Structure 1
Amino acid sequence: MAIVCASPLMARESREVEVAAALAARLGEPLLLVGVIDGEPLTEATRLEAQRHLEAQAERLELPPGRVSCRVRSDTDAVLADEECRHSRWVVAAAEGWRTSAWRRASLPERLARHGCGPVLSVRREDALVDWLRGRRRLLVVVGVDPLSPTADAAVAFLRELRRVGPCDVLATYVCSPLEERDRLGIHTPVHVDLLEPRARDMEALDPAVETVLLREVREQVGDLLGEGGVEVVLEPGFGRPADHLLHVALSRGADLVVVGMRARGAVKRLWHGSVSAGVLRNAEQAVVCVPDVLREPRHALPPRSVLVPVDFSDASERAIAQARSLVGPGGRVHLLHVHRKRLGETGGFMDHYGVLPEPPREREVMLRRLWELVPRDEGAQALRWSVEGVTGEDIAQAICQATEREGVDLVCLGTSGEPSREPDALPGAVARELVARCRRPVMVVPGT
């Protein structure tokens, strides 16, 4: 698979060719130089002159004979139609120097990335890239991550390719909204800001419990990265455009390269929703790599190591607990969750729009004791890790979904029964259907006998 380098021939200076040549030499791949006469009519004389210009560049690159080929294209659309470009290992493009029409703001690097032409490197500060490719220094890389995004999975997968090229220190950066994360995780903290200390009124501050969960999620998404260099997780709380916050981290930490995933979108979606990768490409001061989401690595199905069991103290719950313990091996974890359905007229503490509340204080100790009594005492059960939790919520399915995110479990195991239960917080049959529809984790439904 070739390394493709796209350059605007009318630009005064373009050093992306030097970057592409160093990359091709490092990876042992052939190099294709594509010169684009952007905005000028392509006559035969112009084409021949451009071809000679590209061949002269190729001779100066000091690559082995036959490893460099040259082509001239009339415009950016012709580059996108090039078969070798669409199936390249890397596409290296100049970040600037492209002419765009008034009705189309996207530059060639953005359009290449949008069309899924392999990882697209938009070159800025080329000296750092060339020194890295020639083994003179490490590269400091900011990668945009998001535990909920498949495009971030593609960016993380690309880090393995990057480390095969040369040593990299990685800043895995998650731009997160504190309020949205509290809502997703169901973590309760007071929201009456008039009663909080001035320091705690900062709406961009992460709750320590939220921060703990996010750090775990990002580390799980990044996984083990082979190769030389460190990995640091950076949580960047903020509101507004995520691209601005990601670039703030890159600028403040002196990064050499920003890596983001990109999803192909229709024109209407791009118009209304924008794109994090497009914002990074247009405004970064560093080089940027856009990785199409089609390049993300498939996740292999593994046996569950942690299971959450919603408990209403019925026989169905006990069957679900028995099923859950059979699914996780020694050292695995089973988390028992009881959801107290909030009843009319119940108060107790401040209301929290974003998180679920703990069990009512007068019932908490009794409920936790009942949950622990459900934990089997035999030798096999002692080889597992057990935990219990009680929460209060109006939406039972949502409270269960929030608990799965907080606890990071692999599976939900829910017992159902056709018989009515006398327990005040019995799980209605509709909860199983809602969980299957709303939960990001697999849901196993254990029917009654």
Structure 2
Amino acid sequence: MTRLHTILAATDLSAAARLACERAVRLASACDARLELQHVVNTGALDSLRLLFASQPDDLQQRLLDEAREELRSLLAELHDGLSGSANLHLGIGNVVNEITLQADALDADLLVLGAHGSSLVRDLIVGSTTERVLRRTGRPLLVVRRPAPRGYRQVLIPVDFSARSLKAIEVARRLAPKAALVLLHTFEVPFEGRLRHAGVSEQELAALRASAQREGETRMAELIARAGLPAAALHSLVLYGDPSVQILEHERLQGSELIVIGKRGQNSLEDLLLGSVTKHILSQAQSDVLVI
């Protein structure tokens, strides 16, 4: 199992985004990875600010950059006690989404870390937000942080669909949280169940279809665990009937999962053009941190 080498945490220097930086520091230390800390001054915000000045100071942009640089240095100094290795700072001007994805590519970052809320970098997890736009643009794992990071993750929930994405999700989860208990969750529904019922298919026949899907899911779960090379003592697996979003969030609530690791895309071509609908729902509703693969 390969380790993490480079973690890029992007921050807007807000209090909420600080949680993401703290988690990035903890992960970098635990994984012996290099930490890269980035702040982007949005050109759109700069242009709006210039409009407010009747007579714009010649050095306005430079003054703002210098102030941001000092804030970034202060943040790193405050976080330094939790960091066992080195860290680099990156300050730039431009489109926030472009700058984050370009920096991640330039560094060949193994992991991107963003806050779930912030004053401008990550405002809300809705269509058009910075987080979602970064997720659309990057093929790299992205960790969305909501919770404080007093310790490493102890329980990780991984929804699986038995595709190659599921194996990748398990691999990355083990790299981020090697000591955590893993819960693999597969949910299933009978296709067109409502239409079948309307067409006269009996409840007994529908129950038999659900039982068959349950057995198939359990068989494929066992195959996935074997392919992933997971020790039985380190995980718990569930195959449940019902809506995926509902089951994932219900399990998170009942079991106190600290991290959900979920695939970026859905299973059809339309969802492949966007974020999968289940992934978007989990991002907006989960209480825990969410790692999108």
TM range (shorter): 0.7 to 0.9
Structure 2 segments unaligned to the other structure (5+ residues): 48-60, 194-199
Q: CA, structure 1 residues 12+144, in 2 after alignment: closer, same or farther (shift >3 Å)?
A: closer
Give the counterpart of 1:151 among 150, 153, 165: 165
Partner of 1:441: none
Partner of 2:290: 288
Q: CA, structure 1 residues 210+255, in 2 after alignment: closer, same or farther (shift >3 Å)?
A: same
CA deviation string 1:76-121 (max 9, x = no partner)? 322122255662121111111154799x824333333333352111
**Distance in 1 separating the partners of 2:123 and 2:87:** 31
- Residue 154 (structure 2) pairs with residue 139 (structure 1): yes
Partner of 2:66: 48
**Distance in 1 separating the partners of 2:240 and 2:291:** 20
**Distance in 2 separating the partners of 1:106 and 1:160:** 31
Larger Rg computed on CA atoms: 1
Give the counterpart of 2:117 among 96, 99, 104: 96
Q: Work out whether residues 170 and 229 of structure 1, in 8 Å CA contact, stay in contact via their aligned partners in 2.
A: no
Q: CA, structure 1 residues 272+51, in 2 after alignment: closer, same or farther (shift >3 Å)?
A: closer
Partner of 2:255: 253
Partner of 1:167: 179
**Greater helix percent: which structure?**
2
**Distance in 2 separating the partners of 1:264 and 1:46:** 41
Give the counterpart of 1:18 among 13, 19, 22: 22
Structure 1 segments unaligned to the other structure (5+ residues): 133-137, 182-189, 292-449
Give the counterpart of 2:221 among 191, 201, 218: 218
Q: Work out whether residues 160 and 225 of structure 1, in 8 Å CA contact, stay in contact via their aligned partners in 2.
A: no
Secondary structure of the structure 1 residue equivalent to 2:256: coil
Q: CA, structure 1 residues 155+248, in 2 after alignment: closer, same or farther (shift >3 Å)?
A: same
The CA deviation at 1:212 is: 2.5
**Distance in 2 separating the partners of 1:255 and 1:80:** 29
**Distance in 1 separating the partners of 2:8 and 2:189:** 38
Partner of 1:305: none
TM-score (norm 2): 0.75
- Residue 190 (structure 2) pairs with residue 178 (structure 1): yes
Give the counterpart of 1:233 among 205, 229, 237: 237
Q: Work out whether residues 115 and 264 of structure 1, in 8 Å CA contact, stay in contact via their aligned partners in 2.
A: no
- Residue 137 (structure 2) pairs with residue 115 (structure 1): yes
The CA deviation at 1:234 is: 1.3
**Distance in 2 separating the partners of 1:5 and 1:44:** 23
CA deviation string 1:203-233 (max 9, x = no partner)? 7x97444322211201211325457963111
Read off the aligned partner of 2:8 and give its amino acid letter.
Answer: V
Root mean square deviation, CA, Å? 3.6
- Give the number of equivalent residue pairs: 262
Read off the aligned partner of 1:221 and give its amino acid letter.
Answer: L
Q: Work out whether residues 98 and 107 of structure 1, in 8 Å CA contact, stay in contact via their aligned partners in 2.
A: no
**Distance in 2 separating the partners of 1:116 and 1:159:** 18
Q: CA, structure 1 residues 30+119, in 2 after alignment: closer, same or farther (shift >3 Å)?
A: same
Give the counterpart of 1:124 among 146, 149, 153: 146
**Distance in 2 separating the partners of 1:87 and 1:78:** 14
Q: Work out whether residues 116 and 264 of structure 1, in 8 Å CA contact, stay in contact via their aligned partners in 2.
A: no
- Within a 5 Å distance, the mapping from 1:16-95 to structure 2 comes to 16-37=20-41, 40-41=45-46, 43-60=61-78, 61-62=80-81, 63=83, 67-74=86-93, 75-84=96-105, 87-95=108-116
More relative contact order, 1 or 2 (CA 8 Å, 6+ apart): 2
